[in-house]
Every structure is written in structure tokens, then in C-alpha cells.
């Protein structure tokens, strides 16, 4: 056979294999009726929780499900639950509920409020939620709201390093708070990039990227970063290096923004950073793969305390093609979950004891199981999410909705349903169980860190270069 024919034949075989694999990952479940039932169960429970929010907390930030009341983050509400809930309700086909939120946002929501908002949190939830609402609804008035909100955030970036301050006043633009962690410093390129793309104004992406580069440029000689920084002096306030809560989404956005917009500078930073993570942070302990804490300058281990937020890592590893580590690390989180039937917020893997015993309906382990189920087609990950859903129903379900748990050992409940339960946790469960039947194309989407979906095919990479200014 000629060289050309051999090449063509192997190409054909690879394409056939890839296409079979993709079909498999859509249809791979032998229990489709059971999965459809579970998907419907998630929809029903979402609707039940949403109705509870409407009845007891409408207009406010979050539902307090035990006292049947509400909680606001600040002295005035910012309507965070509905903005976070929109994309989940939309994907579930709950269009009347989604439309009601869209109408409220356009007709009644006003961000001219004299409150100091935490820039990191409102970026991923409010700006991310509004941008995704614009993408799904196509309503230009929603984009106006998103831009208005981002313009109110922008003064925070006006610092010596370009890393934003912790709070910004939405009315006056006065920003305060010089000490921020790395996630609060460098989780902006994705939302700001989307906004620059839609508005053709590069200033948003430029601000987000400058903050990210300010972190990267302060890496140590061994290529690690600390976890807390002074936004004016640029000095590290804490030199502990890790991927846990307080750092996590900095890494997530290096890779996701590179994938979405094609900014190769971010791609290179991800490639370089991941080497240091595997070299210094990864630790095999009693047959499990953990990512612990070290000193950024020496690489010496400082702690074996991890957080449940770190379970985002298998998802991003899998997305970047590192399946072996992704599967390995997900097994670790699955093991931890099954020690308690829920995950503790903080856990010391060498002392084998919870450091922070609460579980606040967080999504990360479910997100990673969903990614791995889609990307490998292996039903092990579907089974994981079935178990997580059963446990959450068992321990977190209340008369009207779902609530956080104060202690994973006693299962004592708290009176708070976080907004990301709507945005992320319920969405990842639904997408997993409806995988064989829904029209959602995972491969064409990237989720922001709050699980708001954005279409990859909506971005033209050449245009992105111009509109984002890289
Ligand atoms: C979410 O608000 C986001 O995913 C954030 O990046 C960190 N984790 C919380 C939920 O656990």
C-alpha cells in the first residue's frame, strides 16, 4: 500500500473511532429510562426550590429555607439568585420562569445602589449571569444591563498593579480593600472577554488580563505563585501556593479564556503553570492523588488541608486532555464524599479529619463527574452523580427547597441556600442525567466558573483578537 493510502486509511479509522466515542458518550447509558426519570426529578426539585424562592424571597439575594425567609448580601438586594438561576431554568426548558427573570432584569433592576459589592463574587454571578442571559435570550437590553454593571465594577481595577480592590461601591465607584486572594485577583478574563466581544470595546478584557498577568508576573523562581496579594504594592501577603479555594478559578480562567478566545499568551501561562502544579503541589498519599499546599519559593510542603472547591480540578484537567490525572483526582474526591455522604468544606488528608465540617451545596465534584462522563463516556461518573444526588436529597432537602449542612458528620442543617445551587449544582445534575436526550452540545460550550454557559462557535477567533485587543 502506498504511503498516502496508509495515511488515508489510518485517518479514516481515527475519525470512525472518534465519532463512535462521541456517539457512545451521548448514548452510553444502559439505563436511559432511569436517567430520564432522574433528569425529571432534578427539574421538579429545581421548580420546587424556585417556587419557594419566589414565595419567600422574591426580590432578594438568597432563600433561607428553614426559616422560610430571605437573606441579602448587602443593605440593598442585588437579585443574585434569579440572575444565577436563569441559565439553569433556560436549559431545563422552564421558559416561563426564565422569561419572568429576563423581564424583571430589563424592567426593574437598577444597579445604582450605594453599596460596596465584592468584585469577585458579583463578576462571576451577576456579570456572568447577565452575559449568559444575553446570549440565550438575544435581548439587547440585557446586554445594556451587563455593560452598565461592568462599568460600575471598572473603577476597582484602577490600582498600581491592575489587580482590582476587594470592594467597589456601585453608585460612587469608590473602591476599597487592598488585600485580595488570587481568585479575587485573576478571575475576570472570561466575563470581561465576553463583554469586550459583544460590545467591541477591548477595555474590559484588557483590565481582566492585566490583573491576571500581574499575578503571573510575580511568580517565584520555581514558577509558583502565592495566594494573597496587596493590590497596590504587588507584594505577596501570603506565600502559600495551592489550587484550593482562594486560588482555584485563576487557573480555571487561564485555560478557559485561552480556549474561548484563542489568546495564546494565556495558553502559554496555563501550560507553564500546570508543570509547577504537578511538580510541587501534587502528592500521592495512601494511594490517592491530592494537591496540597507548599511555599511558593522553596516548594516545601506547608499543609495537607484541601477544600471541596478543589474538585473543580478534574474537570479542567479533563478539558485540557489530561484524562489520567483527571480520573485519578476525581476518584480521590469521590472517596472523600463517601466517607461522609457529603463533602466537608475543608479536609486534612494526612490527619484524615475535616478541617471545616460544613457542606454548602457546592457543585465542584458534580461538575467534574459531568465533564468526565461526557468526555470519557464511562458510566462510573454517571453513577457518581447519581449517588451525590441521592445524598443531597437525603441530607439537604427541606420542606420547601434545599439547604446547607453545618457539619457533614452530624448532618445538622443551616438556614441558607446559596445562589450557586441554582446556577451550578442543579444544572450539572440535570445535564448529566439528561445527557442522552438533551440538545445541549457540551463540546460547543464553555461554562464560566459559576456554570453560566457560552457558545464556543459564537466566537470568531480573528474577530476576538481585534475586539479584545490581544
Ligand atoms: C462558585 O461560586 C464558583 O464556582 C466559584 O468559582 C467557587 N465555588 C463556588 C461554589 O462552590
Beta bridge partners of 308: none
Query: What confidence score (pLDDT) does residue 24 get?
Result: 45
> From CA 66, how far away is CA 316, in angstroms rounded?
35
Residue 30: per-residue pLDDT:
57
* Contact between residue 349 and residue 288 where contact means Cβ atoms under 8 Å apart: yes
Distance 463 CA to ligand 1 centre (A): 30
pLDDT of residue 14: 41
Asked if residues 291 and 282 have their Cβ atoms less than 8 Å apart, the reply is: yes
User: In the beta sheet, which residues pair with residue 306?
Assistant: 347
CA of 384 to the centre of ligand 1 (A): 20
The reported pLDDT for the residue numbered 21 is: 42
- How many angstroms is it from 248 CA to the middle of ligand 1? 9
Long-range contacts of 139-143 (CB under 8 A, 24+ apart): 139/102, 139/106, 141/106, 142/102, 142/105, 142/106, 143/198, 143/199
Separation of 6 CA from ligand 1 center, angstroms?
48
Taking every pair of Cα atoms in the chain, the longest distance, rounded to a whole number of angstroms, is 76
Positions of E strands within 215-365: 228-230, 236-238, 240-241, 282-285, 288-291, 293-295, 301-303, 305-307, 346-348, 353-356
Which of 312, 396, 417 for mutating ligand 1's site (highest number of atoms within 8 Å of CB)?
Answer: 312
Domains of the chain in start order, with CATH, are 31-468 (1.50.10.10)
Closest CA to 319 of 273, 383, 249, 372: 372
pLDDT score at 438: 84
What the block records as the C-alpha cell of 416 is 441558607
| Ligand 1 center to 108 CA (angstroms) | 27
Phi, then psi, of 263 in degrees rounded to 5:
-80, 100
Ligand 1 binding pocket mutation candidate from 243, 356, 362, 452 (most atoms within 8 A of CB): 362
Residue (of 249, 251, 216, 215) closest to 230 by Cα position: 215
Q: What is the mean pLDDT of each run of 10 residues along the chain (470 residues)?
A: 43 40 48 94 98 98 98 98 98 98 97 98 98 98 98 98 98 98 99 98 98 98 98 98 98 98 98 98 98 98 98 98 98 98 98 98 99 98 98 98 98 98 99 94 98 98 98
Which residues have CB under 6 Å of ligand 1? 124, 249, 309, 362-364, 420, 449-450
Number of helices and strands (H, E) in the chain?
A: 19, 18
d(C-alpha 115, C-alpha 123), whole Å: 15
Find, among 358, 342, 368, 375, the residue nearest to 424 by Cα. 368
Answer yes or no: pTM beyond 0.85. Answer: yes
Nearest protein CA to atom 6 of ligand 1, as residue: 449
Angle value at C-alpha 456, between 258 and 188, nearest 5 degrees: 45
- Give me the helix-helix angle, 364-376 and 426-433, nearest 10°: 20
Nearest to 431 by CA among 19, 25, 23: 25
Amino acid at each position: 500500500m502506498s504511503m498516502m493510502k496508509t495515511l488515508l486509511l489510518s485517518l479514516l479509522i481515527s475519525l470512525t473511532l472518534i465519532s463512535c466515542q462521541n456517539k457512545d458518550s451521548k448514548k452510553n447509558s444502559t439505563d436511559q429510562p432511569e436517567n430520564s426519570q432522574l433528569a425529571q426529578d432534578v427539574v421538579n426539585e429545581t421548580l420546587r426550590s424556585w417556587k419557594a424562592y419566589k414565595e419567600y424571597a422574591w426580590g432578594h439575594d438568597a432563600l433561607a429555607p428553614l426559616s422560610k425567609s430571605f437573606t441579602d448580601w448587602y443593605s440593598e438586594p442585588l437579585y443574585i439568585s434569579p440572575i444565577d438561576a436563569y441559565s439553569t431554568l433556560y436549559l431545563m426548558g422552564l421558559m416561563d420562569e426564565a422569561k419572568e427573570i429576563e423581564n424583571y432584569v430589563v424592567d426593574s433592576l437598577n444597579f445604582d445602589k450605594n453599596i460596596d459589592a465584592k468584585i469577585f463574587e458579583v463578576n462571576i454571578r451577576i456579570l456572568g449571569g447577565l452575559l449568559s442571559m444575553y446570549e440565550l435570550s438575544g435581548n439587547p437590553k440585557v446586554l445594556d444591563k451587563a455593560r452598565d454593571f461592568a462599568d460600575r465594577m471598572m473603577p476597582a481595577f484602577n490600582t498600581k498593579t491592575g489587580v482590582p480592590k476587594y470592594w467597589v461601591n456601585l453608585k460612587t465607584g469608590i473602591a476599597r480593600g487592598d488585600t485580595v486572594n488570587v481568585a479575587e485577583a485573576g478571575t475576570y478574563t472570561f466575563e470581561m472577554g465576553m463583554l469586550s466581544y459583544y460590545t467591541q470595546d477591548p477595555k474590559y478584557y484588557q483590565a481582566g488580563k492585566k490583573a491576571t498577568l500581574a499575578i503571573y508576573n510575580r511568580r517565584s523562581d520555581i514558577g509558583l505563585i502565592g495566594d494573597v496579594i496587596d493590590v497596590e504594592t504587588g507584594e505577596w501577603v501570603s506565600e502559600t501556593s495551592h489550587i484550593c479555594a482562594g486560588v482555584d478559578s485563576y487557573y480555571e480562567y487561564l485555560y478557559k479564556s485561552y480556549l474561548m478566545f484563542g489568546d495564546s499568551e494565556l495558553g502559554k501561562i496555563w501550560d507553564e503553570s500546570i508543570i509547577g502544579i504537578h511538580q510541587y503541589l501534587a502528592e500521592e498519599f495512601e494511594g490517592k492523588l491530592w494537591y496540597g499546599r507548599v511555599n511558593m519559593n522553596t516548594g516545601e510542603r506547608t499543609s495537607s488541608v484541601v477544600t471541596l472547591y478543589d474538585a473543580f480540578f478534574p474537570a479542567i484537567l479533563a478539558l485540557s486532555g489530561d484524562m489520567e490525572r483527571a480520573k485519578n483526582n476525581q476518584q480521590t474526591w469521590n472517596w472523600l464524599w463517601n466517607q461522609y455522604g457529603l463533602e466537608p468544606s475543608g479536609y486534612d488528608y494526612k490527619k484524615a479529619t475535616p478541617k471545616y465540617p460544613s457542606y454548602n451545596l457546592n457543585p465542584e465534584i458534580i461538575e467534574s463527574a459531568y465533564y468526565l462522563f461526557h468526555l470519557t463516556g464511562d458510566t462510573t461518573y454517571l453513577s457518581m452523580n447519581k449517588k451525590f444526588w441521592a445524598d443531597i436529597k437525603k441530607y439537604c432537602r427541606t420542606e420547601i427547597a434545599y439547604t446547607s449542612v453545618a457539619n457533614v458528620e452530624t448532618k445538622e442543617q443551616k438556614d441558607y441556600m446559596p445562589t450557586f445551587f441554582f446556577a451550578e449544582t442543579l444544572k450539572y445534575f440535570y445535564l448529566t442525567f439528561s445527557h442522552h436526550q438533551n440538545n445541549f452540545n457540551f463540546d460547543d460550550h464553555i461554562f464560566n466558573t459559576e456554570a453560566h454557559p457560552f457558545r464556543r462557535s459564537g466566537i470568531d477567533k480573528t474577530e476576538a483578537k481585534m475586539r479584545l485587543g490581544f
